[in-house]
Amino acid sequence: MPRLLAETDAPGEECGVVARKILCLEKEADAAAGLVTDPVLLVLAIGRRQQQPRAGIGRRRDENPALAAPERRIGEKREAKLFRVPGDGAVIVVHDQRDGGDAGVRHDGWHSDEKREAREIRRSQGRRNNVAGNSRKVSAMESSIFVTAERPLAEDWRCGGRLVVDLASLADNWRAAARLAGRAEAAGVVKGDAYGIGIEAAATALAAAGCQTFFVALPSEGLRLRPPLPDAPIYVLNGLPPRAAAEFSRAGLRPVLGSAEEVDEWAAFRAAGGTGAAALHVDTGMQRLGVTLDEAAAIAPRAKALGLALVMSHLAAADQPGHALNAAQLSRFRSVAQAFAGVPASLSNSAGLHLGPDFLFDLVRPGIALYGARSTAAAPPLSTVVTAEARIVQVRDVAAGTAVGYGASEHVRRPSRIAILGAGYADGYHRRAGSTDERPGASVHLHGRRAPLIGRISMDLIAVDVTDIPEARRGDHAELFGPNIAIDEVAERAETIGYELLTGLGRRYQRHYRGGA
């Protein structure tokens, strides 16, 4: 029986019927954390609202916003999905389908004294399990509740490092992108396993925050999104593989058609009675994917027959605002959008959001900005989504002049204390971020101070100088990147970009998910 800790229930009480399935509510957050091992859908149920409690099960069910409150004016039908995600976050998403489409209130937290004002329910402070987010108005036919059960970070002796993924910060970054988008819709790009943080958890949090449209690179990623997002438009950027049109249609995935061959195959499928929407990718200067401008002009009269729901292009130099290619691509895409009048148009990625309103069109596609890394120097600071930490395996004393690490590439200049961390390039921490006698490397953060890397990074180990941090001990965790060491700083030292660090995060970290929409 799946179990989830809920804030409104007294210790040990049960509460809640969803499609006649009882969710047992335990007094310990460990019960919820026990659910979280891999991204597996546990429950998919459609049930009717229960307005009265069963005898002897504790508080009234209508006091728990996740289990139907009559004052929320919801309709009779509800869909509830309970997920396991890696780490400490057990997730339940409840979709309440209203009659008519009246605006409702999305409740993402509640207060232990059940005090309600204007049908908003406030979150209590200092509770062991955390239900993150704030109530906010929504005008859609459905509202979602995103609930996570958490506990303090526990030590996992099996792992050398841990990742803390802040889903509330992910949602905040999406909201910031949505504000920059103005009247355009802000989609969510979750390709590359949501830039390394876990596609199911990320997409669920984004959907709960209000994101409606998603982009992945591969059909396999889109298929992973279907259980948590059964109705969301999901576009597959890498296009339509040969003979896959029927499979796309069955899965409800939308291919981004990027060549004349793909367009012809999709057209033949539709002409034979196949159904499903698609997008058209037009190359305006990237020289990677997309039909040519001439091909796009020939396709435009067939937009309806192809079921085109979007026409798009991709900016090649948006991270360089003054680059001449930006203006050239904008001019070309304007002509494309005019040719496909009535079909929503999309040009901007994360960096494109900072090029001005002319680049926004109908839909924007923020990617890296959602995950806390900067897409361009013009971007304002973002909320930190991922914190990577490595545990100190041992601390050793090293005499002045001693070489540290492979190749004897760096020598300490004073008697030093060196901490050896249990992570390395097998965990996605790039070897180039190491240090030599000629070139300083990256730093880590622990006990409120920075500690520079010493020598080369090994596959499983990193050496850092903790001479000035005498309290550093075996078992402590050092931040590799996060709120104190920006991921873009580490990327610069490694001569790469934040995208590569995030998407290269290894599977050996212990993962914790915090917060929600």
Whole-number average pLDDT of the chain: 76
Tokens of 480: 């590799």
**Buried b / exposed e across 72-109, counting CB within 10 Å, b at 16+?**
bebeeebbbbbbbbbbbbbbbbbbbebeeeeebbbbbb
Phi, then psi, of 64 in degrees rounded to 5: -105, 110
Return the half-sphere exposure (C-beta side, CA atoms, 13 A cut-off) of residue 342.
Answer: 7
What integer pLDDT is reported at residue 154 of this predicted model?
A: 66
Q: Whole-angstrom distance between the N-terminal and C-terminal Cα of the chain?
A: 26
**Tens digits of per-residue pLDDT, 416-449?**
999 999 999 999 999 999 999 999 999 999 999 9
From CA 187, how far away is CA 206, in angstroms rounded? Answer: 9
Tokens of 455: 């020598």
What integer pLDDT is reported at residue 295 of this predicted model?
A: 98
What integer pLDDT is reported at residue 152 of this predicted model?
A: 57
Nearest CA-CA partner of 89 in 38, 150, 24: 150
Beta strands in 431-507 (DSSP E): 443-446, 449-452, 462-465, 477-481
Mean local confidence (pLDDT), 208-232 = 95
Return the half-sphere exposure (C-beta side, CA atoms, 13 A cut-off) of residue 456.
Answer: 9
- Catalytic residue (choose from 27, 115, 137, 406): 406
**Tens digits of per-residue pLDDT, 255-291?**
999 999 999 999 999 999 999 999 999 999 999 999 9
From CA 232, how far away is CA 228, in angstroms rounded? Answer: 9
* Percent share of the chain, pLDDT over 90: 65
Strand partners, 61: none
* Cα 384-387-389 angle, rounded to 5 deg: 160
Nearest CA-CA partner of 78 in 19, 121, 24, 138: 19
Three-class DSSP labels, 47-65: EECCCCCCCCCCCCHHHCH
How many other CB atoms are found less than 10 A from the CB of residue 474?
Answer: 11
Q: Which amino acid is at 233?
A: P
Among 29-43, 119-133, 348-362, top mean pLDDT goes to 348-362
Q: In the structure, how many helices (H) and strands (E) does the chain have? A: 12, 29
From CA 279, how far away is CA 310, in angstroms rounded? Answer: 5
Check if 137 is active-site: no
From CA 51, how far away is CA 197, in angstroms rounded? Answer: 38
From CA 486, how far away is CA 142, in angstroms rounded? Answer: 37
Q: Identify the sign of the CA torsion 218, 224, 226, 229.
A: negative
Annotated binding site: 288, 459
What integer pLDDT is reported at residue 317 of this predicted model?
A: 95
How many other CB atoms are found less than 10 A from the CB of residue 394?
Answer: 13
- The total number of residues shown for the chain amounts to 517
From CA 438, how far away is CA 463, in angstroms rounded? Answer: 17
Answer yes or no: is pLDDT of 476 > 70: yes
Helix/strand/coil percent split, the chain, to 5: 25, 25, 50
* Cα 46-47-50 angle, rounded to 5 deg: 155
* Percent share of the chain, pLDDT over 70: 70
**Tens digits of per-residue pLDDT, 368-378?**
999 999 888 87
- Catalytic residue (choose from 81, 191, 371, 499): 191
pLDDT band at 516 (very low <50, low <70, confident <90, very high): low
Give the strands of the sheet with 185-186, arranged side by side: 185-186, 363-364, 345-346, 308-312, 278-281, 253-257, 234-236, 214-216, 188-189
Radius of gyration of the chain (CA): 25
Answer yes or no: is pLDDT of 243 > 90: yes
Nearest CA-CA partner of 353 in 380, 329, 383: 380
**Tens digits of per-residue pLDDT, 450-468?**
999 999 999 999 999 999 9
Check if 406 is active-site: yes
Instruction: Provide the whole-model pTM.
Output: 0.73
Annotated binding site for substrate: 288, 459
Token look-up 């099996």 returns 158
